[in-house]
Structure 1
Amino acid sequence: MQINTKEEDVPVLHEWSVDPTEAIELQKQLAPRVERENRLGEVRHIAGVDIGFEDEGNTTRAVIVVMTYPELEIVDQALHRAPTQMPYIPGLLSFRELPAALEAYAQLTVQPDLIMVDGMGIAHPRRLGIAAHLGLWLDMPTIGVGKSRLCGRYDDVPEEKGGWVPLVDRKETIGAVLRTREKIKPLFISTGHRIDLDTSVDWVMHCLTRYKLPEPTRQADRIASRRTVALRQS
């Protein structure tokens, strides 16, 4: 499957038509290339990415919403539907979901400085969740904002808003378990690419309003879940 991108210089990391064994090997090869330190410049626009499914999973529905910062006002959004390329396999969701997300990204007219993805960054058994994979593909700072744990262990999370504890797997800190609303189930925040963990947590907190999810992924989730309509579709 050929992916159109906004920038012609974005390198193609690999083909998407791979079997599970090949996908796992690609994850192992790509994971060391993820940058876990900040290369984040001035942030004026933040994107949220969310992927849903239609037709009993046969159609992938990818949404990207771009918001201004600090106003958190939507200035661009795009939706792309595509035939689902891979069945649901835990740990390989980026191969199932990213092709459609990249097509949605190609529609944007306002380019983000930072991308938040509904899913994992390095908080993944092979340290290459969907946020890290997308960040590598676009060579952009990305943050994984997961609703549930994929791997790792953690201690009790403080009840107050902003409290967090490390998510640890095989003695390595791979993320933060962050309380974004008092006494509400926490989110799982992890480095995607070109950003560190503390900065990732800070940006999630900066983008909170009165909801559990940061606004970029919350707005993308509303569209991907078919609770509202995107401006442009393809």
Structure 2
Amino acid sequence: MFDYRKAAYAQEILKKKIKLQPFKGSINLVAGCDLTFLNPFKTPTEGIAAFVILKYPELEVVERVYATGKITIPYVPGFLAFREIPLLIRAFRMIKKKPDVIIVDGHGIVHPRGLGIAAHLGVVLNVPTVGCAKKPLYGRFNMPGKQKGNYSYIFDKYTNEKLGVVLRTKDNVKPVFVSPGNLTDIETAGNLVFSTVTSYRLPEPTRLAHNFLREIRKKFL
């Protein structure tokens, strides 16, 4: 049985290992990762984790990998990482051309305990990560303007600390919620996500990872 108290304690420990800083070096390869389930309404179930690695800034795909495995932990908001990270790590280890930074489909430090899946993954792998989520999870913010490129900041609702940005990636379309995970900062996170957006709402790395998962999932059904 999953112990939520121990998981929350582990998050507090891992949170202390997060390093928020401007990205060091140049970005030549950027990855997007995502995970899906054969039966999302059942636990345990089989999961599929995927990474798509792109040349940056050209956004040309250079590698795609995936891993499958059993998911035994149920989904609980705030503890998503414990459900998904083991399989994501397995897929990451299959990558031949290691990325300079990973964009994760989920939150970074915008999290009740400051450790969303992007931050958790970044700390465990000791790699730069950025979280880009479709829905809000934590914090207070005002909605940005409706034009592409408009943004507003996300603040901690208790400390007023700046945590991330709400970013409009397409005119009159719902924004995404961006925050640093590890070895990046808010500016790096926002700029990277915006620079990897084309004509879609989601940045290419995570959008292509999601599409790759759909392609793979069909083979198992």
Q: TM-score range by the shorter chain?
A: over 0.9
Check conservation: 1:65, 1:220, Cα contact below 8 A.
Answer: yes
**What is the match of residue 34 of structure 2?**
50
Gaps of 5+ in 2: none
1 CA distance for matches of 2:10 and 2:182? 17
Cα RMSD of the aligned pairs, angstroms, is 1.6
2 CA distance for matches of 1:39 and 1:138? 16
Check conservation: 1:162, 1:178, Cα contact below 8 A.
Answer: yes
Residue among 154, 177, 180 paired with 1:188: 177
How many residues were matched structurally? 213
**What is the match of residue 146 of structure 1?**
133
Structure 1 stretches of 4+ moved >6 Å: none
Segment drifting more, 39-48 vs 129-138:
39-48
Residue among 205, 223, 226 paired with 2:212: 223
2 CA distance for matches of 1:147 and 1:156? 14
Cα drift, residue 85 of structure 1: 2.7
1 CA distance for matches of 2:28 and 2:187? 19
1 CA distance for matches of 2:216 and 2:84? 20
How high is the TM-score relative to the length of structure 1?
Answer: 0.87
Q: Does 1:61 align with 2:45?
A: no
1 CA distance for matches of 2:122 and 2:172? 31
**What is the match of residue 10 of structure 1?**
none
Check conservation: 1:180, 1:205, Cα contact below 8 A.
Answer: yes
1 CA distance for matches of 2:71 and 2:216? 21
How high is the TM-score relative to the length of structure 2?
Answer: 0.92
Residue among 90, 96, 100 paired with 2:87: 100
Gaps of 5+ in 1: 1-16
Cα drift, residue 20 of structure 1: 1.6
In the TM superposition, what are the counterparts of 1:1-234 in structure 2 within 5 Å? 19-55=3-39, 56-57=41-42, 58-169=45-156, 170=158, 171-224=160-213, 226=214, 228-229=215-216
Cα drift, residue 40 of structure 1: 2.7
The residue type equivalent to 1:215 in the other structure is E
The residue type equivalent to 2:144 in the other structure is V
